[in-house]
A and B are shown apart, each in its own frame.
Chain A
Amino acid sequence: GENVEQHPSTLSVQEGDSAVIKCTYSDSASNYFPWYKQELGKGPQLIIDIRSNVGEKKDQRIAVTLNKTAKHFSLHITETQPEDSAVYFCAASSPDKLIFGTGTRLQVFP
């Protein structure tokens, strides 16, 4: 079955810097890759997603890139702000469910 690995597990950046989180997946049949942000005591909130027919997608300060050949995808956050601090999860589709990575705790220091 699908396996998703996520790195790093923690990431600390200064406000205004960029943050990059990377994920790899094992199942070449996966075709949908969402990223979720989870704040303490809340459920995961979708921030951006990408499907296998595109290599990059951008939404304001957030971008995702996908390399299907290498089976990895990355989240890029530019001009980070303290409110970006949270746990971020990548996920990959498996026939009828999402397989999640183990999460990255992002801390943005003012």
Chain B
Amino acid sequence: GAGVSQSPRYKVAKRGQDVALRCDPISGHVSLFWYQQALGQGPEFLTYFQNEAQLDKSGLPSDRFFAERPEGSVSTLKIQRTQQEDSAVYLCASSLRASGNTDTQYFGPGTRLTVL
């Protein structure tokens, strides 16, 4: 079956532009996670949704980062006024149950964001 999909796969933005990154989780998955992966590093948690509720946004680096999942399926990560330090791969993951962290998380291919 279809896995987690993300779009676009690559995004180049000029400093100061706003960007929107989309995640389509596996159908029926309750939990959705966003992670940021800098070059040569492990993924770092940004935020977590259970259905449409954003239960944890403690990893968002600043108020320029905003995520939503209005209907409990597709999620969008928005970054306003992008800066060079925002350059990274943004990974989305979903899991079947509401237990979140102890359930298998399936990752998408990521969106590579480059801010010039």
B→A interface (CB under 8 Å): 4, 33, 40-45, 48, 55-56, 59, 91, 93, 100-102, 104-110
Considering only residues 73-110 of chain A, those with a C-beta below 8 Å from chain B are 89, 91, 93-103
**Would you call B101 and A89 a contact (CB within 8 A)?**
no
Please choose the segment from A12-20, A40-48, A58-66 that sits at the chain B interface, where 4 or more of its residues have CB less than 8 A away. A40-48
Total interface residues on A, CB under 8 Å, equals 26
A→B interface (CB under 8 Å): 6, 31-32, 34, 36, 41-46, 49, 51, 89, 91, 93-103
| A34: contacting residue among B42, B55, B105, CB under 8 A | B105
List chain B residues, Cβ under 8 A from A89: 42-43
Instruction: Tell me the bound Cα distance from A98 to B34 in angstroms.
Output: 11
Main secondary structure of the interface of B (DSSP, over half): mixed
List chain B residues, Cβ under 8 A from A99: 45
List chain A residues, Cβ under 8 A from B44: 100
- 26 residue pairs of the A-B complex, CB under 8 angstroms, read A6-B42, A32-B101, A34-B105, A36-B107, A41-B109, A42-B109, A43-B4, A43-B93, A43-B107, A44-B107, A45-B107, A46-B104, A89-B42, A93-B101, A94-B101, A95-B101, A96-B55, A96-B101, A97-B56, A97-B59, A98-B33, A98-B45, A98-B101, A99-B45, A102-B41, A103-B42
